[in-house]
Amino acid sequence: MNKRLGCFLFVFLLCNCFSRTEDSKEKLLFWSDVTFAFVQRTVNLSSDPDLQRPVSTLRFSIHFSEPIASQIRAEEIEIRSSSNKIVTGVSVERLDNVRLRIVFPDDTVPGEYSIDFSKCIISLGKQISPSEYKFIYDPEAPSLSSSHGNILDSSFFSDGYLDVNYSEPVQGADFLDHYTLSGSAIGSIRLSSVFKIKTNLYRLFFTGVPAASGGLLYLSAKNIKDEAGNNLSSQPIEWRIYGFKQAGNLLIGRRETTPVILNSGEILITGGYTDTGLTNTAEIYNPTTRVSRFTAGNLSQVRRRHSVTLLQNGKVFIAGGGAVVIGIADDPTASTEIYDPSTDSFTPGPSLQRPKMDHTATLLSSGKVLIAGGIENERSGSLDAVGTAEIYDPVSNSITSISSLNYLRKSHRAARLQDGNLYMFGGTSRLGLGALYAYETEIFNEATSDFSVVSKYKLNYPRSNFVLRTFSSDGIVAIGSSTSEVFDPKENSFQISSDLSTPRNSYTSVQLSDGKSILFGGENDNNFVSRIDFYDPASALFRLGSRLLYPRVSPFSVLLPGDKVLIFGGYDIRMITAVEEYSYEM
């Protein structure tokens, strides 16, 4: 009866369309559509799996509330990607009168898709609800990562929590019994609760502390799935928990020298200043056995504040340095020498054009060494640094003068940036009461052997004996005794950044593989700084870490493969011979 009434009304309205004004016709047509939809039977759809949420499968069953599956042609079903492109290779199969199976090709990429039944409405003469399914295909398992990075100092656990990130929204992550901690660094740590901070970020609270000497700590999670039903990747988070441990002794405690890692993996330590003054001794430290030995021969003369460069042929080029101590000042030498690991001895090299110390010596891509800046007189006169530069050629065993720097500088930093070019940053231009500093940065052109100023890299603060680190494509940070500044690519200049946790001078620093830099030792107002300072480029912040076993001023450090750090030398009341290792290894 309702169907007959509907048809009558539809015919009545249609006839009236031809006898009324245009405006009336539009209204009547609208009401005719409403009437048609009212009397037309609706076929309801459901899907398995439910396409109202992300799915991890490419096979779906579509269920019809009426037996019409046999009346639907595959070409009437439109399947599109999020870019509105037709997806080809999809198969549509009738399982029975009320079910269709839709199978996407195996190479379907993750993303958003739609299954549109609009064309079926016309051929069936029936409404279909929903007429379109929009769904997200997500076959990828969620993953778990650390918000703090994977290298942690043992002292960081005083916070009492660890933050972890899921790669996408998950279910089951707020149950404490879904997590397990294990590993050699676990110490007395026990998980106590878990708290959801925001969508994908969770905070795990714990009691206890890790092993002070460090080790590995693992966090495993189970019974956690994403919205598509994918189980969490089984790979646990691995944290490398760093701590200090004894690593043998040097034969002579010394400072103001630069260690170099030989091709053998051993570490060459030359000259420096000892309890008895300048020395020409050299020793080889073996990081595997933690034993040091003297080289077969000594340096040709005493020296400190010299440069030490590993050459491409495995030999070591040693240049300049202070050779005579007069009060608190040095007289530098122009001599150089070459250490040959095969003979374990030193031979004289060509002399520098002028005596110098506190210069830089950088290995170039050609295998030659660029020697730039420094100072040749810090006892009298103007106390100016020098701007001279020269090239050492190990093939001809000769030194040649090249164009000078645009600015006088000593105790500056030579750094090769991500663009592959070599730059000279900072340094002191003049000593004394009227001290001057080099703020401008220069680039060295290896093809033409000259220097030019790069104005965008001008520093904001006077910096000497500072730390310069690079990270990412344009990331640069300059770290001094109390302040830091970071190059901002958007501003195309250095911007003042965060202060050190504790001001310090005469410290040493390394940069780990994750980009973090660590400051070791030093002094502040004649007080030893025993705690290390972590700089994280991601946050541009500093954070205090563990204490050195031996607080020391003017130490030197080496970063070994695997992010193991060795701290040598320096002094407290006397020169320190003890070597300490900072690592996660037991």
The CATH number linked to 172 is 2.60.40.1220
Whether residue 125 sits in one domain with residue 81: yes
Average pLDDT over residues 4-16: 47
HEC secondary structure over 214-243: EEEEEEEECCCEECCCCECCCCCEEEEEEE
Determine the pLDDT at residue 328.
83
Structural domains counted in the chain: 3
Q: What angle do CA 375, 467, 352 make, to 5 degrees?
A: 25
Strands 151-153 and 237-249: parallel
Query: Distance (Å, rounded) from C-alpha 584 to C-alpha 564?
Result: 8
Mean pLDDT check: name the lowest of 61-75, 145-159, 487-501, 543-557: 61-75
Looking at the structure, tell me whether residues 472 and 580 fall in a common domain. yes
Mean pLDDT of the chain: 92
Q: What is the pLDDT of residue 433?
A: 85
The reported pLDDT for the residue numbered 379 is 84
Residue 86 has pLDDT above 60, yes or no: yes
In this structure, the strands spanning 578-583 and 564-568 are: antiparallel
Q: Is residue 238 part of a domain?
A: yes
Same-domain status, 475 and 575: yes
Domain shared by 84 and 101, yes or no: yes
**How many CB atoms sit inside 10 A of residue 67's CB?**
12
Would you place residue 2 in the very low, low, confident or very high pLDDT band (cuts 50, 70, 90)? very low
Mean pLDDT of 178-183: 97
- Asked whether the predicted pLDDT for residue 10 surpasses 50, the reply is no
Which residue among 195, 222, 244 closes a domain? 244
Mean pLDDT of 455-482: 95
- pLDDT confidence bin for 190, thresholds 50/70/90: very high
Q: What is the pLDDT of residue 579?
A: 99
The domain that holds 570 is classified in CATH as 2.120.10.80
Is residue 340 domain-resident? Answer: no
Residue 131 lies in a domain: yes
Does residue 132 sit in the same domain as residue 148? no
Final residue belonging to a domain, choices 221, 244, 267:
244
Write down the pLDDT at residue 125: 82
In this structure, the answer to whether residues 88 and 163 fall within a common structural domain is no
pLDDT tens-place string over residues 392-421: 999 999 999 999 999 999 999 999 999 999
What is the chain's Cα-based Rg? 36
Identity of the residue numbered 96: D
Closest CA to 498 of 482, 510, 509: 482
Query: Is residue 356 situated within a structural domain?
Result: no
**Predicted confidence band of residue 27 (pLDDT cuts 50, 70, 90):** low
Residues 97, 193: one domain? no
Report d(CA 324, CA 327) in Å as an integer. 10
Q: What is the mean pLDDT of residues 157-173?
A: 95
pLDDT at 32: 45
* Shared domain check, 567 and 470: yes
Give the mean model confidence (pLDDT) for residues 250-255.
Answer: 98
Residue-wise pLDDT tens digits, 551-562 = 999 999 999 999
End-of-domain residue from the set 244, 278, 303: 244
70 found inside a domain: yes
What is the residue range of 112's domain? 27-43+54-137
Q: How confident is the model at residue 31 (pLDDT cuts 50, 70, 90)?
A: very low
Do 99 and 80 sit in the same domain of this protein?
A: yes
Bridge partners of 61, per DSSP, are 48, 101
CB atoms within 10 A of CB 507: 26
Determine contact, residues 81/135, Cβ cutoff 8 Å. Answer: no
Judge if 123 and 172 occupy the same domain. Answer: no
Range from 17-21, 119-123, 138-142, 481-485 carrying the lowest mean pLDDT: 17-21
* 561 Cβ neighbours under 8 A, 6+ residues apart: none
Return the percentage of the chain with pLDDT > 90, whole number.
84
Which region among 8-22, 60-74, 462-476 has the lowest average model confidence (pLDDT)? Answer: 8-22
Residue 560 falls inside a structural domain: yes
Q: Which has the higher per-residue pLDDT, 498 or 199? A: 498
Q: Flag whether 385 is in a domain.
A: no
Token pair, residue 565, equals 């750090």
Q: Is residue 125 part of a domain?
A: yes
Check whether residue 98 and residue 155 sit in a common domain. no
Residue 174 shares a structural domain with residue 131: no
Burial of 221 (0-12, 13-18, 19+ CB in 10 A): buried
Residue 371 to residue 417: CA distance in whole angstroms? 18
- Which pLDDT score is estimated for 327? 84
State the Cα–Cα distance between residues 201 and 163, nearest whole angstrom: 7
- 309-360 confidence digits (pLDDT tens): 999 999 999 999 999 998 888 999 999 999 999 999 999 999 999 999 999 9
Is it the case that residue 88 has pLDDT exceeding 50?
Answer: yes
Question: Tokens standing for 70?
Answer: 């046999």
* C-alpha closest to that of 79 among 105, 46, 116, 50: 116
Q: What is the pLDDT of residue 69?
A: 78
